[in-house]
Amino acid sequence: MSFFKLAYQALMCNVVDEKVQLTHQLFNEILNQDLITDSATPVETITTPGRPERPELVSYQNTPKRDRSDLGMIKTIHSICHIEFNAINLALDALYRFRKMPDQYYRDWAKVSHEEALHFTMLNDYLKELNYQYGDFEAHNGLWEMTVETDYDVLVRMALVPRVLEARGLDVTPSIQTKFKKSKFSKMAEILEVIFQDEIGHVKIGNYWYKHLCKERDLEPMEIFDRLIKKHVGKSLRGPFNWEARLLSDFTEAELNYLEHANRERTN
């Protein structure tokens, strides 16, 4: 089977355990064989990837606020679990959708999808320890909406999904860890540390391919990034920014200064 077909099968699978299994299978097959990129396999438009019937999806504005009660903390764990489930689909789509890329591109995104599936499993297993599971609470669909919006160009996808959506996770995770460390759910801090370290690598992969594509097309990365933020996000990115983690993921100081300056203009 073409790995594009296997990626599509995993992406469209709506049974949670089967999706995770297919994602790991895809990673193992791509890792251990020479890639035959069957570019003749048609690319399907995907408005909705495979997902279980629950959780019920609501708009971001209608997602209930979570407090620091026990139930509020469990809902936060569920929310992070939902993010990681979406991240599996985001990585699979990046692998499936964009053709005629170097072999390393496909290996990179298979690795990302594999690690996102591991993150999801860790979180869902912890929810089960707490007598809950993925799907028990409402969730929103903002992450996938950006995937649909960037499906026309691999450069745009690399600019806006890993470098914006995933990089935001680098900014906010340390404060979330602190909150969990001070609660009865301190195990979450350990899980988040695993996720945080892996996400640095995921953003780094996004940065590599974004800059690779800019160089290939003779484009200036910061200028294009600014243009794409204005087109697809419509406003500057919200801070504060985790400079240490973003530098480790190969953002440049110039890029971070741009983000800080744009954020100050946004808040003033």
Q: What is the pLDDT of residues 133-147, one digit of tens each?
A: 999 999 987 788 899
d(CA 254, CA 261): 11
Residue-wise pLDDT for 211-236, tens only, equals 999 999 999 999 999 999 999 988 77
The two structure tokens encoding residue 21: 């299994």
| pLDDT for residue 27 is more than 70 | yes
- Domain positions in the chain are 1-142, 150-268
pLDDT at residue 178 in the model: 95
pLDDT at residue 155 in the model: 98
Q: Quick count: other Cβ atoms within 10 Å of Cβ 75?
A: 21
Amino acid making up residue 104: Q
More confident call, 2 vs 53? 53
More confident call, 160 vs 65? 160
- What is the average pLDDT value for the chain, to the nearest integer? 92
pLDDT at residue 112 in the model: 98
pLDDT at residue 64 in the model: 58
- Percentage, residues of the chain above pLDDT 70: 93
Partners of 139 in beta bridges: 57
Residue-wise pLDDT for 47-97, tens only, equals 999 999 999 988 665 565 667 789 999 999 999 999 999 999 999 999 999
Residue 56 exposed, middle or buried by CB count within 10 Å (0-12, 13-18, 19+): exposed
How far is residue 217 from each of residues 158, 221, 228, measured CA to CA in Å?
14, 10, 16
d(CA 1, CA 80): 33
**Mean pLDDT, range 237-253, rounded to an integer:** 95
> What DSSP string describes the chain?
--HHHHHHHHHH---HHHHHHHHHHHHHHHHTS-----TTSPPPP-SS----S-SPB--GGGSPP--SSHHHHHHHHHHHHHHHHHHHHHHHHHHHH--S--HHHHHHHHHHHHHHHHHHHHHHHHHHHTT--TTSS-B--HHHHHHHHTTT-HHHHHHHIIIIIIHHHHHHHHHHHHHHHTSTTTHHHHHHHHHHHHHHHHHHHHHHHHHHHHHHTT--HHHHHHHHIIIII-SPPPS---HHHHHHTT--HHHHHHHHHHHHHHH-
